[in-house]
Amino acid sequence: MQSKASDEAAAIEIDDIDRQIIAELNRNGRISYTDLAKEIGLSRVAVQSRINALMDAGVIERFTAVINPEKIGIHVSAFFNVEVEPKHLHAVADQLSTEPYVTSLYHMTGPSKLHMHGLFRNNQEMEQFLKEKLYTLPGIMSVDCQVLINRYKSRMGMRL
């Protein structure tokens, strides 16, 4: 693994073995170092060392469980485009990032747009969130909401 500097931040160059390790971890994040080493064709120590290096470099941010929301009673998945007055953008983003309903939050191109995903037990819970949490924030100019009907693909990890 070699470090390659860019204008914004140092980018890490990963090799084919790192890609294989990451791909296996995306398939099964619970795989043992020993089993992963067998899959890749390296020693357990070499695999563990590479994973630690990828974590130290920030390539692997964390390990987590992927939960199917419907299996735990969460039936509404919605995407929001939130337009915010520029002077309130960071404060609104900071507040929304603390909300348990919000699963992802991004600052998008365009005049002070936040793109947000939220999960809710039902439409009433989403409506309550909108009325009590989102619409009350200072600087909210408009909110466009789209409710998910069917999920065909959800990206876990990234293209390598």
25-75: per-residue pLDDT in tens? 988 999 999 999 999 999 999 999 999 999 999 999 998 888 888 999 999
φ and ψ at 146, to 5 degrees? -130, 125
| Residue among 95, 104, 100, 103 nearest 134 (CA) | 95
Region 2-56: CATH code: 1.10.10.10
CATH of domain 69-147: 3.30.70.920
Other Cβ atoms less than 10 A from the Cβ of 11: the count is 13
What does pTM read for this prediction?
A: 0.77
Inform me whether the pLDDT recorded for 145 exceeds 90. yes
Q: Do 69-147 and 2-56 have the same topology in CATH?
A: no
The DSSP bridge pattern shows strands 102-108 and 76-84 to be unpaired
Q: What is the pLDDT of residues 58-67, one digit of tens each?
A: 999 998 888 8
For the chain, the domains span 2-56, 69-147
